[in-house]
Structure 1
């Protein structure tokens, strides 16, 4: 297993470099960089100020352009900037944002509370609902309950989250009909003055609509995966032998079937759990005015904030590779029959 782990760690390096290199090369051909955007904003400000009575030049001169390029590091060739970027990332220095004038790592930490709130709770709700529902569907395979719940989860899966969000806002958030839920932020303005029970209630009050939009489409995949896995296990020979021995249905289900059927779910647990901390839905965050990682990534792309784009890509890709390795190693924990000796050769 140690050889397999070392091999996987070594393979992470070219994978990480490949993702960074492709993104860096694409960025070089994207029009409208940060310097050009600042120039456009400066010209727009000058046009607006011409009628305001203050003195401003019409064009940004060449010297100012060169100063801006030097400020953002664009006075150096692309290959030099690429090598410097890799050197910073090797020291886990994610760079400094052009747009916010802050370290990228600090920005990500500032946006994490929103993404954790959305991702973690949606993850927990999805697992706590989908797995029991999938087991129940497998036990009652082909029944009216199975057909009805399949229809419900598939309808939920077919509805885009942002469409459901707009509908919920119109119906329950002060749109055309009811005014039951707030539209902005994770907490109310007077949250600090509330008691702890009131704070918790206020927090979930603000999360109700965004969470509904995020989880409603996630039930189908996990529920159907759980059901199909359990149904497949129920048809295997060892289950028939256990039943022939006179074991009760519950004993067969929870002692024999449960462990084997949960292998694909448990091995995917680390990726889903860690992904919850970095989950960011741009549309949902925009719709409910939540300032999370999804919104940060969207603004970074629009404003050409390359340090944020590349720094977050580096961090999330690295985390994803490590979590993928942990997920593979969990196969051995859940099923000791799995061996990595051949994979390491």
Structure 2
């Protein structure tokens, strides 16, 4: 096992290098880089007029020495290959760099946005697994009954509705017309003045609509996957043998069927759990005015804030590779028949 883990860890290095290299090469050819973005914002701030503030003009009318100073500030006075090597050196020390436009370390920016993404992702994860798995088991046991048909129809209808469309409907109905829930934010403006009980209620009140909009897609997938896995195991010979020996239906289901049927569910558990902490839902965050990782990534791409783009890419790719390894190791933990060789 340790040899297998070592090989997988070594294979992560070229994979991570390839992801960073391809992304770095692509952004070199994207027009309107950080220098141009800075010049455009500086011109707008200086009051260059309505037309000058809204029409992109690059470095027109700017002192060339000033442009060279800005390039040196951002490190663009160095060749691309040198900048890439220096970036790899920083990442090897887990230094994600500093944002061009927010003048903050990328790690600090991620830490500031994490509460929103954790709130959305963790609740989505808990509801998806805590409700969808028992529902999938119940559907498998009652396969073909009215309960199975009705719940399948409800789950598939929910899955067919995009999250942002459902979010708009929830905002209009429950936030606008009925005014049962707030329209924006993760907490109220006076949250610091509230007691602990009132804080919890206020937080759940704000998070209810965005979590509902996010949960339907993953909820449907988990429920149907659980149902199909249980149905496949229930029809196998060892289940018939266990019943023939006189074992009760509950004992057959939870002691014999559960372990084999949960293999596809459990092996996806690490990725879903880690994703709950680092998943950014851009449309949901924008719709409900939540400042999370999704919005941070989008704004960094639009503003050509390359340290944020590359830093978050490095961190999330590394986390994804490690999570994939943990998921593969879970196969052996759940099913001893799987061997590393």
TM-score, normalising length: structure 2: 0.95
Tell me the distance in 2 between the aligned counterparts of 1:138 and 1:163: 30
What residue in structure 2 maps to residue 53 of structure 1?
A: none
Q: How big is the shift at 1:49?
A: 9.1
Unaligned runs of 5+ in 1: 51-57
Of 190-199 and 105-114, deviating more is 190-199
Tell me the distance in 2 between the aligned counterparts of 1:38 and 1:191: 36
Of 108-117 and 38-47, deviating more is 38-47
TM-score, normalising length: structure 1: 0.94
State yes or no: 1:194 paired with 2:194.
yes
Tell me the distance in 1 between the aligned counterparts of 2:242 and 2:182: 54
Kept in 2: contact 1:43–1:59 (CA 8 A): no
What is the aligned counterpart of 1:107 among 93, 106, 109? Answer: 109
Tell me the distance in 2 between the aligned counterparts of 1:338 and 1:182: 50
What residue in structure 2 maps to residue 42 of structure 1?
A: 42
Tell me the distance in 2 between the aligned counterparts of 1:64 and 1:299: 26
Query: CA RMSD for the aligned pairs?
Result: 1.4
Kept in 2: contact 1:297–1:309 (CA 8 A): yes
Kept in 2: contact 1:161–1:284 (CA 8 A): yes
State yes or no: 1:74 paired with 2:76.
yes
Tell me the distance in 1 between the aligned counterparts of 2:113 and 2:43: 32
Q: How big is the shift at 1:112?
A: 0.4
Unaligned runs of 5+ in 2: 52-59
Tell me the distance in 2 between the aligned counterparts of 1:87 and 1:22: 17
What residue in structure 2 maps to residue 300 of structure 1?
A: 300
Q: How big is the shift at 1:172?
A: 1.2
Where in structure 1 do 4 or more consecutive aligned residues deviate above 4 Å? none
Q: How big is the shift at 1:220?
A: 1.2
Tell me the distance in 1 between the aligned counterparts of 2:219 and 2:184: 26
The Cα offsets for residues 184-223 of structure 1, whole Å up to 9 and x where unpaired, read as: 2211111111111111000000001100100022211111
Q: How big is the shift at 1:243?
A: 0.8
What residue in structure 2 maps to residue 165 of structure 1?
A: 167
Number of equivalences:
333
Tell me the distance in 1 between the aligned counterparts of 2:83 and 2:47: 32
Kept in 2: contact 1:168–1:209 (CA 8 A): yes
The Cα offsets for residues 162-196 of structure 1, whole Å up to 9 and x where unpaired, read as: 1111111111112xx21111122211111111111
Tell me the distance in 2 between the aligned counterparts of 1:167 and 1:259: 40
The Cα offsets for residues 243-270 of structure 1, whole Å up to 9 and x where unpaired, read as: 1112111110011101111111111111
What is the aligned counterpart of 1:155 among 154, 157, 175? Answer: 157
1:110-121 aligned at under 5 Å gives the runs 110-121=112-123
What residue in structure 1 maps to residue 55 of structure 2?
A: none
What residue in structure 2 maps to residue 62 of structure 1?
A: 64
Q: How big is the shift at 1:46?
A: 3.5
State yes or no: 1:129 paired with 2:131.
yes
Q: How big is the shift at 1:43?
A: 2.8
Kept in 2: contact 1:95–1:307 (CA 8 A): yes
What residue in structure 2 maps to residue 4 of structure 1?
A: 4
Tell me the distance in 1 between the aligned counterparts of 2:35 and 2:240: 70
Tell me the distance in 2 between the aligned counterparts of 1:115 and 1:49: 37
The DSSP-based 3-state class of the residue aligned with 1:47 is coil
